[in-house]
Structure 1
Amino acid sequence: MSKLLEVKNLRTSFKTHLGEVQAVRGVSFHVDKGEAIGVVGESGCGKSVTMMSIMRLLADNSVIESDGIIFDGEDISNYSEKEMEKIRGDKMGMIFQDPMTSLNPLYKIGDQLTEHLIKHKKISKKEAWQKGIEMLDLVGIPSPEKRMKQYPHEFSGGMRQRAMIAISLICEPNLIIADEPTTALDVTIQAQILDLMKGLKERLNTSIILITHDLGVVADLCSRINVMYGGIVVETGSDEDIFYRGRHPYTWGLLNSVPNPMSEMKEKLVPIEGQPPDLLKPPNGCPFADRCEYNMKVCLENQPPLFEVGEGHKCACWLCHSDAPKVESPIGREE
C-alpha cells in the first residue's frame, strides 16, 4: 500500500513564562491510503498535540519542527497558513474531542456543515445544502432536512458527534483525524460511532487516525497502533502485536487497566502508579522509568531507541536489548 501521510521526527514545544514545554519529542509514523491507525496513551502524552501540529492548529507560542511531513506526496511542513487552509477541511479533516465546544452555538448545523463545501468545492449554496442533507443521512441522523435548520443545543450528545463527523467528511478528505471521538458518550453510542467510522472508511476508502486513551476503542477499527508516552512513541506495531505481543511495560500497564472479556474469573484492574514526566524538564532516560517496576540504571540515564522486536513491531525499552534480563509479559490474553 502507498503512504498517504508520513511524519518524520516531529518536535513540538510551547514557550511559556515557566520555560519551554517539550510536548512532542521526535515522533515518526505513517498512514497508508485507506488505512486506520490508532494513537494511544494517557492524557498529556502528546497525542493531540502531534495531530494539531500536522494540521497547524496550535497557538502562536508553539514551535513546530520536523524532518518532513509528507502528505499525499507533498512536504507540507513548510507550507504557509494560506496553503494549509487549502488542505484543512478539504483533503484533511478533524473530528474534535468535544462537539459542543467545536460547533458554533450561534449558527445552524446546516450553515456549519456547508461552509467548507462552498469554500473548497466552489459550488452553489443550494447544491451544498443538498449535499449537507445527504451527509447527515449518511452518518445516521434522522430527519436530516429538519436537522439542517436546527442549532447544536437541539442535538443530543451522540447526534452532535455525528454532525461533527459529517462536517469533517463533507468534502470527502483523504485523511480524517479523530481526536477521542467517543469521549463523554455512553457505551451504546460509542459503539455506534465506531461502527459508523468503520463503515465510512470502507465505503469512502478514507484513511483514519484515531486518537484515544482507551486501547479497547481501537481494537476493532485500527490495523496498526502507536503507543505514546512522555511525548514519544514507545511502541508501535499491528493490533495483534500490541494486544498479544506487547513488549513495553507501559503497554502492559494500559492493557492491565482494560477488562478482559475472555476471562472466566473476575480480575482486578491494575492502575499505573505514579505521575507522567514533567515536560518542562524531560528526563534524560526513558520517560516511563520512574513508574516502571522493571527499570534499570540505564533506563534512568539513556532514552532507549526503538528496537525492532518483530516484523513492523518496534519498542523503545531497554528490556528489548539483547543483554537485558528476560522478563515475562504479565498480560495473559489469548489470540
Structure 2
Amino acid sequence: MEKLLQINNIHTSFHTHMGEVQSVRGVTIDLYKGEAIGIVGESGSGKSITMMTVMRLLDNNGEIKTGEVLFEGKDLTKLSEKDMEKIRGNSIGMIFQDPMTSLNPVLTVGDQLSEPLIKHKRMSKSEAKKKVIEMLGLVGIPSPEKRIKQYPHEFSGGMRQRVMIAMALICGPKLLIADEPTTALDVTIQAQILELMKELKEKLNMSIILITHDLGVVADVCSRINVMYGGVVVESGSSKDIFYNANHPYTWGLLRSIPNPKLDIKERLKPIEGTPPDLLAPPKGCPFAARCEYAMKICFENKPEQYKINEGHYSSCWLNHPNAPKVKRNIERGEADGEK
C-alpha cells in the first residue's frame, strides 16, 4: 500500500501571554491511500491541532516548531501560503467541528459550495451550479435545486453537517479530514452521517482521518486507531487491537467510559479520574501518570518508550517493559487488574 500522508515527529506550540502552550509534542501518524483511520482522545489531547497543523490553519500565535507533514511526498510545512491554498479544499478537504459557525450566514449554501469549484476547477457559474446540485443530492439533501438558494439558518443541524460534507468533497479530494463530524447530532443522524462517509469513501476511493472523542464512532469506520493524550500518541494499532488488546491504561479508561452492549447486567460507567496535564508545563514523564492507577516512579520521571505489542500495534507505557509489574486486562469489561 502506498502512503498518502506521513506526519513525522510534529511539534506545534502556541505563544500566549502566559507562556508557550505545547499542544502537539512529537506526533507521528501514517495514512495509506484509500484507508480510514481514527484519532481519539479527550478534549485538549491535541487531535484537532494536529490536523490544523496538516492544513496549516493555525492562529497567528501558532508555530510548527519541528517535524514534517508529507502529502504525496511533498512537505506541507515548507510550502508557501499561496501553494497551500491550492491544496486546501482541493486535494485535502476538511469537515470542521461546528457546521453553523463554519458556514457563512450571509451567503446562500449554493454560493458557498460553488466558490471552491470556481477557484480550483475554473468552472463557470452554470457548471458549478450543476455540480453543487449533484453533490447535495449525493449527500442526501432533498430538493437540492431549491436548497441551493437557501441560507444556513434554514437548515437543520444534520442538514448543515451534510452541507459541510458536500463542501469538503465538492472538488474530489484525495484526503478527507473529519473533525468531530457527529458532535451535537442525535444518534439517528449520527448513524446516517457515518454511513454516508463510508459510502463516499468507497465511491470516491479517498482516504479519511476521523477525529473524535467517541470510540464507538470509529469502531465501524476506521481500520486503524491512534489514541492521543497530552499532545502525544500513547497507543496505535488496528481497531481490533485497540478494542480487544489495548495496552495503555488511558485506552482502558476510554473503553471503560463507554457502554458495553454485550453485558447482561447494567453497570455504572467508570470515568477517568483527574484532569488532563497543563501543556504550559508538560510533565517530563508519561503525560497520563498523574491519573494512572498503575503509575510507577519511572512514569513520572522518564518519558516511556514506544513498545511494539505486535505487528502494527504500539503502546507508549512503562507497563510493557519486561521488568514492570504484570497487569492483566479484562477484555470483556475493558478493565485491568494487577495480578496478585
With normalisation by structure 1, the TM-score equals 0.98
CA contact (8 A) 1:99 1:161 kept: yes
> Which range moved further: 260-269 or 116-125?
260-269
Q: Distance in 1 between matches of 2:23 and 2:305?
A: 19
Q: Distance in 1 between matches of 2:83 and 2:164?
A: 23
Amino acid at match of 1:226: N
Q: Distance in 1 between matches of 2:73 and 2:127?
A: 31
Residue 151 of structure 1 is matched in structure 2 by 151
Q: Secondary structure at 1:328's aligned position in 2?
A: strand
Residue 22 of structure 1 is matched in structure 2 by 22
- The correspondence of residues 1-335 of structure 1 with structure 2, limited to 5 A, is 1-332=1-332
Deviation at 1:305, TM superposition (A): 1.7
Deviation at 1:333, TM superposition (A): 5.6
Amino acid at match of 1:236: S
Once the two structures are superposed, residues 18-58 of structure 1 have per-residue CA deviations (whole angstroms, 9 ceiling, x without a partner) of 00000000000111001000000000000000000110101
With normalisation by structure 2, the TM-score equals 0.97
Q: Distance in 1 between matches of 2:94 and 2:308?
A: 31
What is the aligned-residue identity percentage? 69
Once the two structures are superposed, residues 90-110 of structure 1 have per-residue CA deviations (whole angstroms, 9 ceiling, x without a partner) of 000100010000000000000
Deviation at 1:261, TM superposition (A): 1.0
Alignment size in residue pairs: 334
Gaps of 5+ in 2: 335-340
Once the two structures are superposed, residues 138-160 of structure 1 have per-residue CA deviations (whole angstroms, 9 ceiling, x without a partner) of 00000000000100000000000
Once the two structures are superposed, residues 189-242 of structure 1 have per-residue CA deviations (whole angstroms, 9 ceiling, x without a partner) of 000000000000011111000000000000000000000000000000000000
Deviation at 1:331, TM superposition (A): 3.5
> Which range moved further: 6-15 or 56-65?
56-65
> Which range moved further: 2-11 or 74-83?
74-83
Amino acid at match of 1:286: C
Deviation at 1:255, TM superposition (A): 0.3
> Which range moved further: 258-267 or 146-155?
258-267
Q: Distance in 2 between matches of 1:226 and 1:65?
A: 22
Q: Distance in 2 between matches of 1:131 and 1:286?
A: 50
After TM superposition, the runs of 4+ consecutive aligned structure 1 residues lying more than 4 A away are none
Q: Distance in 2 between matches of 1:173 and 1:80?
A: 20
Q: Secondary structure at 2:167's aligned position in 1?
A: helix
Amino acid at match of 2:159: M
